[in-house]
Amino acid sequence: MTESLSPLTQVPGFRAVGVTCGLKQSGKPDLALVLADRPCAAAALFTTNVFKAAPVLYDMSLMKKSGGKIQAVVINAGNANAVTGEQGLAAAADMARLTESACSLPPDTVFVMSTGVIGQPMPMEKIRRGIYAAGIAIKTEAGQQGHYAAQAIMTTDLVPKEAYVQVSIGDQPVSLGGMAKGSGMIHPDLATMLAVLVTDAVIEPAVLHEALKQAVAVTFNRITVDGDTSTNDTVLLLASGTAELPTIGPDSAEYKTFVQALTELCTDLARAIARDGEGATKLVEITICGAATEAEAESAAKTVATSPLMKTALFGNDPNWGRALAAIGRSGVRVNPERVSLRLGDFQLVKDGEPLNFEAEAVSYWLARSDEIKLMADLGVGPATATVWSCDLSYKYVEINAEYHT
């Protein structure tokens, strides 16, 4: 493992590359290819949006057909291939066929992801050239280093998102690496959330799927930039099985260790997405405790996290806690108004339902110089807790989503 490897290619047995095929007007890399040395156990989670993009529909069918064995992933940015009708479904399948051919893989081993504008036909000639170039590049040193893959999947993201975690399972090192993207494009549209995670752990697809569900529930499913769920959201986890350890069985101590490491990896990437939300100046971490159930804690936290009034107040460095309580109050969860408490960072603002006197200027000063804000509220009802990550709402968000046209 050397410094020049990306988090994805630090995991033994994986190569990754990003190339330019002309989907982004900027000329930056816009097509990524991830290739494993051998067929991997795969687990994938998809958007719950009714309008699932063509690649999502393709992958859902692929996961059934392939028995959860995948060897490569092709991802383009610049066109979401969503609400594109029959022609879109054909384009997604073509992307898989072209990649199988470029990497000399058998049929039904390639997973497809797209992000970008909705309702536009896929420019297949550009895609074809891109996949061909990626298939050549991935066999070179560039493919071993993998630096451009995370950049190729960016849209209006300002920074690439990559993470790496190593754990010991049965005294053997197991590696987990991943890349993800958040919101934005040059012609911005839906903030597609895509993540590709890889590991050398030895694990069956069904167990891998369970592990991924557990980790995603408390990480990627707990971030929000603007409350809109994309038509393309996809999280894929590939396990190559090259680590020298026995298969990780369900409910074993090794499984718990693996899920913990996977959750750490997903948390890193999820926080990076929230921090780089469209127009964000701050990462906002909202923890709700004292809730009746974890689901209610999550629901209350998400209501605060998506409240435009709360988000604009944080952008304005305004400790306007009334907006947080009002959001909690409309979230539909059980709250005891007489026992509710609220903290912003180290400042306690409300205790047992009564507003406390506090130095508003001191809190405002702290908000202004922090790029990471913790808001904690106790609902005074039960023992459950949940944390959600979000960002503030700035002029830049409006600019990104209003000024550049489809």
Query: Which residues are identified as catalytic?
Result: 192
Size of the site for a second copy (CB under 8 A): 61
User: CA-to-CA distance for 59 and 109, rounded, in angstroms?
Assistant: 10
Assign residue 59 a region: left if phi > 0, alpha if psi is -120 to 50, beta otherwise? Answer: alpha
Q: Which C-beta is closer to a second copy: that of 133 or that of 326?
A: 326
Specify the amino acid at residue 379.
L
Residue 264: which H helix or E strand, with range?
Answer: helix 253-275
Quick one: CA dihedral 120, 126, 130, 132, positive or negative? positive
Residue matched to tokens 């497809």: 112
Of residues 301-360, which lie at the interface with a second copy (CB under 8 A)?
A: 306-309, 312-313, 315-316, 318-323, 325-330, 335, 337, 350, 353-355, 360
User: CA-to-CA distance for 250 and 185, rounded, in angstroms?
Assistant: 40
Contact 400, 315 (CB under 8 A): no
Residue matched to tokens 């054909």: 90
Among 153, 167, 190, 297, binds a second copy (CB under 8 A): 190
Nearest approach in angstroms of CB 112 to a second copy is 19
Query: What DSSP string describes 276-330?
Result: TSTT-S-EEEEEEEEESSHHHHHHHHHHHHH-HHHHHHHHTT---HHHHHHHHHH
Q: How far is CA 182 from CA 60, 86, 161, 258, in A?
A: 22, 27, 9, 25
Among 50, 141, 171, 371, binds a second copy (CB under 8 A): 50
User: CA-to-CA distance for 43 and 63, rounded, in angstroms?
Assistant: 8
Among 51, 106, 125, 247, binds a second copy (CB under 8 A): 51
Reduced to 3 states (helix: H, G, I; strand: E, B; else coil), residue 252 is coil
Q: By CB under 8 A, which span of 7-15, 29-37, 82-90, 130-138 interacts with a second copy?
A: 82-90
User: CA-to-CA distance for 376 and 357, rounded, in angstroms?
Assistant: 18
Q: By CB under 8 A, which span of 34-42, 106-114, 149-157, 387-395 interacts with a second copy?
A: 387-395
Q: Which C-beta is closer to a second copy: that of 270 or that of 349?
A: 349
Nearest approach in angstroms of CB 55 to a second copy is 15
Of residues 111-140, which lie at the interface with a second copy (CB under 8 A)?
A: 117-119
User: CA-to-CA distance for 254 and 63, rounded, in angstroms?
Assistant: 25
Q: Does 194 bind a second copy (CB under 8 A)?
A: no
**Site map (CB under 8 A) of a second copy, residues 145-184, x = contact:** ----------------------------------------
Reduced to 3 states (helix: H, G, I; strand: E, B; else coil), residue 361 is helix
Contact 328, 304 (CB under 8 A): yes
Nearest approach in angstroms of CB 355 to a second copy is 4
Q: Which C-beta is closer to a second copy: that of 139 or that of 330?
A: 330
Q: Which C-beta is closer to a second copy: that of 141 or that of 402?
A: 402
Nearest approach in angstroms of CB 149 to a second copy is 26
Q: Does 224 bind a second copy (CB under 8 A)?
A: no
Pairing of strands 384-391, 283-291: antiparallel
Nearest approach in angstroms of CB 308 to a second copy is 4
Q: Which residues of the chain form contacts with a second copy (CB under 8 A)?
A: 48-51, 80, 82-85, 117-119, 189-191, 226-231, 306-309, 312-313, 315-316, 318-323, 325-330, 335, 337, 350, 353-355, 360, 364, 393-395, 397-399, 401-406
